[in-house]
Structure 1
Amino acid sequence: MKVTIEEMPGAELEIILRCPVADERVRSLAARLTALSEERIAVRAGEEIQLLEPDKVLYAEAVEGSAFVYTEDAVWPTRLTLSEMESMSEGFFRCSKSMVVNLRRIERLRSGLNGRLIATLANGEKILISRHYAAPIRWALLNG
C-alpha cells in the first residue's frame, strides 16, 4: 500500500482511496477515516465543557448573539458559531439565517406557506425551514 500526502494551501481536506477493488479492507479503512474526521461539539454544562457527538444534535440556533445546541433532552449553550457548526459535519445544513439543522435527525418534511418547509425532527419537534434554504435541503436529503 502506498500513502501519498499532498499539501495544497486553501484546499478542502479530501481523502481519495484508489484501489483495484473496494473490498472489505478498503471499506473498513474508509469507515475509520470518516469516524476520525468527525469532530465533537463543545457545549457548556455549568462550569464544565461537555463534548457531544454530532449525531446527538438535532439543531443549533442563534438567539440574541448567543448560540445554543438542541438535543432530544436538553439545550446547551455553545461558543461555536452556526457557520462553524455547518462546516463541522456534512450532516449540518443551514435552514435559516439563525438555525442549522442536522439532516440525519429529520424524519419528515412537509410543505409550508410561501415555499417554506416544516421539518419534523427525531424528537417530534417541528422547525421551519425558510424558502431560501428549502430547495438545497430537499436536494441534500434526496441525493445525500
Structure 2
Amino acid sequence: MESNVRVSLKIDAIHSVTEVNINTSDRKIGENLLDYINKFSSSTTNKLGIKTPEGTVMINKSDIMFAEIFDKELTLTTTKQELTTRMTLSTLQQKLGSSLIIQISKASIINVHFIQKVNPSFSGNLIATLANGKKVSISRRYVKNLNKVLDI
C-alpha cells in the first residue's frame, strides 16, 4: 500500500533558523500538521507563574484542567489546587498556547486531556465531567470547537 505522505529531512549548518514547509492538497491535514509543529516552536518551558494574593505560584501548564473568569477574577483549577488571580482569560490562553486548551464558553476554557465524559444538557449545551469529578458547562456556541478538537 502506497502512502500519500512524503517526509524528508534536510540538515544544513548554513541556515540560522529552522524552516518548515507543508505542501498538501488536504486543508485539514495541513492545519493539523501546522498545529502540531507550532507546539514545538512555542515556549519550551512547561512552567507558568500565576500571581495570587498570597504571591506568585509556579504551576505546570499541563496540570491546568479548567479556568473560569467571574467578576474580573480568574479561577484556575489544576490537578493539585485551585488558584485565583486577576489575569484575563485571553492572556492565560495566549500563555498556554496549546491547541488542546479550548474555549467552551464566553468565560471559560478547558484542557481536553482532562475530559472524562460529555453529556447533553436540556438547553442544547453539553456538560463535561473532568478527571477530578467536576462538571462544567459547554455553551452551544462552542460545541463545534470541542467536536473538532476531539475529532467527533
Gaps of 5+ in 2: 1-10, 23-36
Paired residue type of 2:17: I
Taking the aligned partners of 1:114 and 1:120, their CA distance within structure 2 comes to 17
Q: What are the within-5 Å matches in structure 2 for residues 62-77 of structure 1?
A: 62-77=69-84
Q: Higher Cα Rg: structure 1 or 2?
A: 2
- Of 82, 86, 91, the residue aligned with 2:89 is 82
Q: Deviation digits for residues 59-101 of structure 1, max 9, x if unmatched?
A: 1111101112112342112343211222322221111111111
1:131 partnered with 2:140: yes
CA RMSD of aligned residues (A): 2.8
CA contact (8 A) 2:128 2:138 kept: yes
What is aligned with 1:101?
Answer: 110
- Asked if the contact 2:101–2:110 (Cα under 8 Å) also holds between the matched residues in 1, the reply is yes
Name stretches of at least 5 consecutive residues in structure 1 with no aligned partner.
Answer: 7-14, 19-29
- Number of the residue aligned with 1:23: none
TM-score, normalised by the number of residues in structure 1: 0.70
- Give the TM-score taking structure 2 as reference length: 0.67
CA separation in 2, counterparts of 1:81 and 1:139?
Answer: 25
CA distance change for structure 1 residues 110 and 38 in 2, over 3 Å: closer, same or farther? Answer: farther
Q: Work out the CA distance in 1 between the residues paired with 2:99 and 2:45.
A: 9
